[in-house]
Structure 1
Amino acid sequence: MTAPLAARVEDWRAAMPVQKGALADDAAALAGFVRAGEELLAALPERRDRDRGRQRTADRVLGACRALRGRFIGLHADGVYEALTRGGERRERLSDLAFAAAEAFPGLVPTREQLGAERRHVQEDKEGREIDQGVFFRGLLRSPDAGPRLMESMLAPSPRAERLLPDFRRSGRLDLPTVRLRRSGRAAHLTLCNEHCLNAEDDRLVDDLETAVDLVLMDDGTGVGVVRGGVMTHPRYRGRRVFSAGINLSDLHGGRISFVDFLLRREMGCLGKVMHGLHPGPDADGLTRQAVHKPWVAAVDAFAIGGGMQLLLLFDRVIAEKDAYFSLPAAQEGIVPGVAGLRLGRFTGSRLARRIILSGQRIRATDPEAGLVCDEVVDADAVEGAVERAAEELDAPAVVENRRMLALAEEPPDRLREYLAEFAAVQASRLYSKDVLDKVAAAWSRSGRARKGAGDGADRRG
């Protein structure tokens, strides 16, 4: 770092514009300030080649831009959302909304090109531009006007599912890269098939899972959704069913976990639809149609770790084989376990929820506490029969309407929105925190994935 560059950075920071409340003027001021900041950042080496002094300079540039972005979206969330959705005519999904914002309001969020460049690096070598997406979505979700509309947009059917629906209605079968869907009678069986990594969650699985959830909710021939892990090819569990190993640490280390398309979309899209139903949009007369709810059954084999355990907090019936266990190791990894902080205490009470989330306490299916997170514990060879009985019992119109009312009582939309607003900012920042990067790198190294080229979360299970 040269002295002239350091002085230029300080002069630039001192000239940060004041946001005065006029959208167009404030947007122009933001664009000019960020453009100058990007020029300063371009004068530095790439992150992996910086010494501590240069990295401090980069952090000051990125931090100043981030601060102004936060002020701008805090003042103009409603105006920005109106502009990006053409006055509410368009129901934009998260990724499309972020990229549209990058074009309409230069400097507010990273561009497609900037994120593409980031994606070529491992996590620790990125600039952390996704943090600015977290700032953006926090601002939108905090708005009592824009926030609910954004959340409802994410509960709409995904374009991919709408394309696949006619074929699924006709055949009752669908094979996606990481999810298999089969309709049997009135139950649609959704099998997680990310076999090589013990059903660890990655960008592809989140996309496939939301698509399958949409199809279950849109298919008139389906009354109940059933989720179970498939038979694994991973050497440690070859031939056995596994529910989920949580986030794929190898992909996180390698920079392949997307904040928007995985972590935020998962909560607001896929999991949101399981909990709060699918919003089909207005009818032909422009009237709002009621969200489509259906009951869900989960069958847990081996373990439900991290995101796998988070899923269980949404289901109407959870059946576990007696050797299974549940855990949320997010605090040990340094990240936030999705919306579990809002939901888990309803099941376990606050004290046990704190031990699970903050200390990583593991719950085995045979522990007395297991009854707080699952409904039935059976031998491995009895899981299928228990699932069939549960699906038959839950396939009733009154069940659908009562689960709708339970979801409304347990998780009012505004409470969820306020939680998600803070989650957006905190989780995006956590992804680039030094403790997270160190822990993920250590886990990746211990697992031997650097030599074998295969990803899993096995090191977490001990």
Structure 2
Amino acid sequence: MTAALTVPTLRGDRAADARALTEVTAGAEEILAGLPPRVDRDAGQQDLAARVHADCRALREEFLRAHAAQLYRELTGDHTRRPRLPEVAYAAADLVPGLVPTAAQIAAELRHEQAGKEGREIDQGILFGALLALPDAGEHLVESMLGPVPRSLELADLFARTGQLELGSVRLSRTGGVTRLEVHNDHCLNAEDNQLAEDMETAVDLVLLDGETRVGMLRGAPMSHPRYAGRRVFSAGINLRDLHRGRISYVDFLLARELGYLNKIVRGLHPGDGSPPVQKPWVAVVESFAIGGGAQLAMVFDRVVAAADAYFSLPAAQEGIVPGASNLRLIRRAGSRLARQMILGGRKVWAHETDGRLLCDEVADPREIEAVAARAAEQLSAPAVVANRRMLGLAEEPPQRFREYMAAFAGVQAYRMYSDDVLGKVERAALHGMNG
């Protein structure tokens, strides 16, 4: 089969290169439109589509190597605006047609299971990897994602007045300066999905915005699942059924989760006016298990209290995806050997094990865990805690190091979402009702 596209060498001129990219990708769309849906393609058609995508992605990467900094300045008004990830992606699609998918193309992808998608989110990964790799643009983008989301600003006054709020899959309740976030995504054992990620970011924002809250505390609600009925569960990780069904978004979940509420727990809310971020200490209460994303989440807390019968695991290698920023953070907390055993080998670590103490601060009798967690929150309420946690954070995970990690993660994770091994694994896991 002959080459699908004629791909030019870009000349270094922003406008001319953009026109060339748009022309090539428009030709690619014509070829793809003439093919059957992805799941119905024969081997030759699959090979043709793969070469079309590869040629276009190489051209996008070449364009971004030359023009990413200028592109970001155009998207942000020379860094005067602070758009979030989806706004950046879709504005880039309008500014340079063919560089990334449009909102309509992503909406069309959502009509398919993961295995049936064209894989357009990979192109979003290429864009964000390039932007995050740039010190100025990357820092600006990371800081922009630390700002409160509009939903949080709308609800802040209500929560300040009442100290109570229901956010769909997260309940907030403030008592004595401690705001408790209780996750009740109980239809899937608190597995993470797009809606939970949105609710969690709003909840974290509200804790950080609330003048009466000194400490945030996260805990899983009692479950209705027959196997765990009445038991509290911290997190079953990513909802693999939703990933199989094509309902886990690369931008809104996999990337925004890391740059959004997880990073806000670590670094606080960024006011955007040059003043320091608003930080508060956090306690995690781990019961039953913290699998995958749950274990990732526990790593960003100042104090982790775990029930003696709870365990931590990161089955990312078995699933085929990258476990967020765990590769960056777990080595610091637990050492290289245990990090490799968990991430590469899928080792399950029980809280009561010796190695479990590297993943949590206190191991409690399940019957006494509420009292232990309350004492931990009281200790973190001391006036000097916020200043010291900020200095610890600067030493432990400098912003530049986090940005550089996320630049690599952005591209790698986007490709992993569409790799053949991941598609096969999530299909089997979804059929067996597993998460991770």
Do structure 1's residue 401 and structure 2's residue 387 form an aligned pair? yes
Counterparts of 1:307 and 1:334, CA distance in 2:
14
Find the residue that maps to 1:359 and give its secondary structure. coil
Counterparts of 2:167 and 2:252, CA distance in 1:
17
Do structure 1's residue 440 and structure 2's residue 418 form an aligned pair? no
Find the residue that maps to 1:225 and give its secondary structure. strand
Q: CA deviation at 1:149?
A: 0.4
- 252, 264, 276: which one pairs with 1:273? 264
Counterparts of 2:310 and 2:266, CA distance in 1:
24
Which residue in the other structure is 1:424 paired with? 410
Give per-residue Cα distances to partners, 1:326-349, cap 9 Å, x unaligned: 000011100000000000011111
Do structure 1's residue 242 and structure 2's residue 233 form an aligned pair? yes
Do structure 1's residue 350 and structure 2's residue 336 form an aligned pair? yes
Give the gaps of 5 or more residues in structure 2: none
Q: CA deviation at 1:75?
A: 1.3
- 339, 360, 363: which one pairs with 1:374? 360
Do structure 1's residue 387 and structure 2's residue 406 form an aligned pair? no
Which AA in structure 2 matches 1:233? S
After TM superposition, the structure 1 = structure 2 runs for residues 154-303 of structure 1, keeping only pairs within 5 Å, are 154-282=145-273, 288-303=274-289
After TM superposition, the structure 1 = structure 2 runs for residues 58-97 of structure 1, keeping only pairs within 5 Å, are 58-97=49-88
Counterparts of 2:362 and 2:372, CA distance in 1:
8
Q: CA deviation at 1:319?
A: 0.5
Do structure 1's residue 49 and structure 2's residue 40 form an aligned pair? yes
Find the residue that maps to 2:284 and give its secondary structure. strand
Give per-residue Cα distances to partners, 1:229-284, cap 9 Å, x unaligned: 001111211111000000001001000000000000000011011111110111xx
Which AA in structure 2 matches 1:46? P
Counterparts of 1:51 and 1:216, CA distance in 2:
52
Which residue in the other structure is 1:319 paired with? 305
Residue correspondences, number: 436
Which residue in the other structure is 1:453 paired with? none
Counterparts of 2:148 and 2:221, CA distance in 1:
25
Counterparts of 2:159 and 2:67, CA distance in 1:
42
Q: CA deviation at 1:372?
A: 0.5
- 346, 354, 359: which one pairs with 2:345? 359
- 22, 29, 39: which one pairs with 2:30? 39
Give per-residue Cα distances to partners, 1:392-434, cap 9 Å, x unaligned: 1101221100000111111111111111011000000000001
Do structure 1's residue 336 and structure 2's residue 322 form an aligned pair? yes
Do structure 1's residue 24 and structure 2's residue 5 form an aligned pair? no
Q: Percent identity?
A: 57
Counterparts of 2:166 and 2:295, CA distance in 1:
24
Which AA in structure 2 matches 1:246? G
Counterparts of 2:38 and 2:425, CA distance in 1:
19
TM-score of the two chains, using structure 1 as the length reference: 0.93
Which AA in structure 2 matches 1:239? G
Find the residue that maps to 1:397 and give its secondary structure. coil
TM-score of the two chains, using structure 2 as the length reference: 0.99
Counterparts of 2:142 and 2:342, CA distance in 1:
28
Q: CA deviation at 1:23?
A: 1.2
Give the gaps of 5 or more residues in structure 1: 1-5, 283-287, 448-455
Counterparts of 1:410 and 1:393, CA distance in 2:
21
Find the residue that maps to 2:198 and give its secondary structure. helix
Find the residue that maps to 1:191 and give its secondary structure. strand
Find the residue that maps to 2:384 and give its secondary structure. helix
Give per-residue Cα distances to partners, 1:269-315, cap 9 Å, x unaligned: 11011111110111xxxxx1111111000001100000100111111
4+ residue runs over 2 A deviation: none
Counterparts of 1:416 and 1:22, CA distance in 2:
32
